[in-house]
Amino acid sequence: MSYMWDNFNIKPFPAETIVYRDGEYCADLSTLPNDTINKNYDLPVHIIYVGEIAGKCRLNIDVNVENQKVYLSVNIKNKKPAFLNIFIKNTGKNSEIRGHILLDNYDNLTYDCMARHLSANTGIFLQNKLIANKSSISKLSGVAIIDKNCPECDSNINFAAIAARDAKIEFLPAQRISSVPENAGHSASIYSPKPVQIEYLRAAGLGTLEIDQVMREAFMNDFSLF
């Protein structure tokens, strides 16, 4: 699966895999069925969702087994209007889901993520990044839900965007917390290069378009490690 790194900047590692490309489940690239994670695996589970999407797309992640690590890597672009919904349920005590979501929007994109904790000591951590290209419209929402009788959960959903000057972006973060969590974080920000960074790149001989590309790549690659 080295082409995942070459084409989508996703580095494979030893794991059970569930792979989607262009919104469709790929059985030939997956070691697990397109189904709920309801048993423990010696390796972590890596869910990969890549390619180009249009129209309505949905990804369900249901973890209902204890002590399981799940990683989510999303790298998609849309050149037509698209709606992507990611719905996560974690009912497995001491199980955690860590996700990196990269959205490259050229048109009109609505992204809706719901992360629901349904057991004590569950973790859901999602880093969402948006590249809002020229004249694009983006609406991103994310809600973390910690149910009653589910204490000591660890929840963090954050959004960051880099945008063309005429792009339109709307963030809608929310939390619904009914138990005392270990941690519950939520944030949204717009990335803007600092003047000193631009001056440094100009001094190195880069033109305006090259600087824009370097800053875009830096934004794309600046994910915290799993």
Summarised one tens digit per residue, pLDDT across range 76-91 is 999 999 999 999 999 9
Confidence label for 224 from pLDDT (cuts 50, 70 and 90): low
DSSP characters for 42-55?
SSPEEEEEEEE--E
Judged against a pLDDT cut of 90, whether residue 63 lies above it is answered with yes
Buried b (16+ CB within 10 A) or exposed e, 182-192: eebeeebeebe
pLDDT tens, position by position, 107-162: 999 999 999 999 999 999 999 999 999 999 999 999 999 999 999 999 999 999 99
Residue 157, beta-bridge partner list: 126, 186
pLDDT tens, position by position, 188-222: 988 877 778 888 888 888 888 888 888 877 787 77
Rounded CA separation 223/219 (Å):
8
To the nearest 10 degrees (0 to 180), the angle between helices 195-203 and 208-221 is: 120
pLDDT of residue 223: 62
Task: Quote the pTM value.
Answer: 0.91
